[in-house]
Amino acid sequence: MFVYEKKLQYPVRIKNPNPAMAKYIITQYGGPDGELGASLRYLSQRYSMPYPEVKAILTDIGVEELGHLEMVGTIVHQLTRNMTVEQVEKAGFQDYFVDHTAGVYAQAAAGWPYNAASFAVKGDVIADLSEDMGADAATRKEQRKEIR
């Protein structure tokens, strides 16, 4: 079902570690509106869709979200590789570092580990698609904050 090209959809080339930025971006990986939840949301909801076209769209979106997950994970990895002890301490990254060192772990910026309760699969077309739109709106709102 999947074909994996061993390259990122968009290249990520971060030269300098920045654990403070990684603390902020990690929520796009495993936070309540992050890419992990988005990919699982669409790939799980596709099963109850009554039309093959809608099922195919949700599958396509879910696979696209997996690509986003890989890019965000790469960003976090590049922001945290080769950190010095001083950088870890200055950024307040110690709590994360104690448990995961520079590994990419699915969690929200507040430190909460990823939880599948952050997305819904009801088996009802209207409920599921409404939940999808709400999650996408929350992500867009977060992205607008990041730009400012």
Domain around 46? 19-147
- Name the residue type at position 134: G
Task: Look at residue 62 and tell me if it is in a domain.
Answer: yes
Task: Look at residue 8 and tell me if it is in a domain.
Answer: no
Task: Look at residue 67 and tell me if it is in a domain.
Answer: yes
Encoding tokens for residue 139? 């992500």
Distance from C-alpha of 42 to C-alpha of 134, rounded to nearest angstrom: 13
Q: Which residues pair with 113 in a beta bridge?
A: 107
CATH number of residue 56's parent domain: 1.20.1260.10
Q: Which residue bears the tokens 């990919």?
A: 39
Cα separation values, 35 from 12, 69, 143, Å: 16, 5, 13
CB 107 within 8 A of CB 30: yes
The tally of domains found in the chain comes to 1
Please report the pLDDT score of residue 35 as a whole number: 94
Show pLDDT as tens, one digit a residue, over the chain (148 residues). 677 888 888 899 999 999 999 988 999 999 988 999 999 999 999 999 999 999 999 999 999 999 999 999 999 999 999 988 899 899 888 888 888 988 999 999 888 999 988 888 888 888 888 888 887 777 666 666 655 5
Q: What is the pTM of this model?
A: 0.83
